[in-house]
Amino acid sequence: MSKQYKYKQAKITEEFIDVDDEIQNSTQQTGYAWEEEYKRSWDVLQEDEDGSLKRTVENLQHRKRKRLFRDTATIRRGIIRHMFLIVDLSEAMMEKDLRPSRLDLTLLYAEQFILEYFDQNPISQLGIIVTKGGYAEKLSDLTEILIIMGSLTTCDPGDIYDTIDNLVNENIRVSVVGLAAEVQICKLMCKKTKGTYGVVLNEAHFKDLLFEIIPPPPVSATQNKAELVIMGFPSSVTDASPSLCACHSKPTIGGFICARCHSKICDLPTDCPVCELTLVSSPHLARSYHHLFPINNFVEVPWNNSVSSTHCFSCQIPFPPLLGVRGGAVPIENSGRYKCNKCHQHFCIDCDVFVHEVIHNCPGCLATTH
Partner 1 sequence: MNVLRDAATVNEDDANLLVLIIDTNPLIWTRLAKSTGLSLKEALRHLMVFINAHLALKHDNEVAVIASHVDVSKFLYPIPNPHKLSEDTDQTMNSNMYQRFKVVNDQVIGNMKELFEDLSKLNSYPDKASSMIAGALSMSLCYINRIMRADEIGHIKPRIFIASVSPDSPNQYISIMNCIFSAQKLGIPIDVCKVHGEDAVFLQQAAHITGGRYLKLPTPQGFLQFLMITFLPDRYTRTYQCLPGEEKVDFGAACFCHKKIIDIGYVCSFFVIHWNNVQLAGLTNLMLASVNEGGLRVVNGIKKLDKSKGRESGGST
Judged by beta carbon, residue 22 or residue 182, the one nearer partner 1 is: 22
Q: In whole angstroms, how close is the CB of 261 to partner 1 at the nearest point?
A: 11
Report helix, strand or coil for 221. Answer: coil
> Which of 85, 95, 199 has the alpha carbon at shortest distance from 142?
85
- Among 153, 202, 236, 243, indicate the residue that binds partner 1 (CB under 8 A): 236
Backbone angles phi, psi at 173, to 5 degrees: -90, 130
CB of 308 vs partner 1, minimal distance in Å: 14
**Choice between 26 and 140, CB closer to partner 1:** 26
Task: Please give the Cα distance from 177 to 165 (Å, whole number).
Answer: 21
The Cα diameter of the chain in Å comes to 81
Helix (H, G, I), strand (E, B) or coil at 256: strand
d(CA 96, CA 91): 11
Among 1, 181, 226, 329, binds partner 1 (CB under 8 A): 226
CA distances from 145 to 158, 197, 211, 284 (A): 19, 12, 14, 24
The least distance separating partner 1 from the CB of residue 30, rounded to whole angstroms, comes to 11
Residue 314 sits in the site that holds partner 1 (CB under 8 A): yes
Burial of residue 316, with CB atoms counted within 10 A of its CB: 0-12 exposed, 13-18 middle, 19 or more buried: exposed
57 touching partner 1, by CB under 8 A? no
Smallest gap from Cβ 253 to partner 1, in A, equals 8
The window from 77-85, 87-95, 129-137, 179-187 that contacts partner 1 (CB under 8 A) reads 77-85
| Residues of this chain, 22-51, that bind partner 1 according to CB under 8 A | 22-23, 26-27, 29
Note whether 243 binds partner 1 by CB under 8 A. no
Phi and psi at residue 184, in whole multiples of 5°? Answer: -60, -40
Read off the amino acid at residue 35: E
Residues 182-221 that bind partner 1 (CB under 8 A): 219, 221
Nearer to partner 1, 46 or 310 (CB): 310
Region 291-310 residues binding partner 1, contact defined as CB under 8 A? 292-293, 310
- The region of 11-19, 178-186, 287-295, 296-304 touching partner 1 under the rule CB under 8 A is 287-295
Check if the beta carbon of residue 220 is closer than 8 Å to that of residue 77. Answer: no
Q: Interface residues for partner 1 in 78-117 (CB under 8 A)? A: 78-80
Among the listed residues 341, 337, 331, the one whose alpha carbon sits nearest the alpha carbon of residue 308: 337
CB of 366 to partner 1, least distance (A): 4
265 binds partner 1, rule: CB under 8 A: no
Helical packing angle, 3-17 and 33-44, nearest 10°? 30
What number of chain residues touch partner 1 (CB under 8 A)?
71
Residue choice 318, 330, 341, 342 for contact with partner 1 (CB under 8 A)? 318
Distance CA 18, CA 108 (A): 14
> Identity (one letter) of the amino acid at 225?
K
Which listed range, 103-111, 184-192, 234-242, 332-340, lies at the site for partner 1 (CB under 8 A)? 234-242
Check binding of 77 to partner 1 (CB under 8 A). Answer: yes
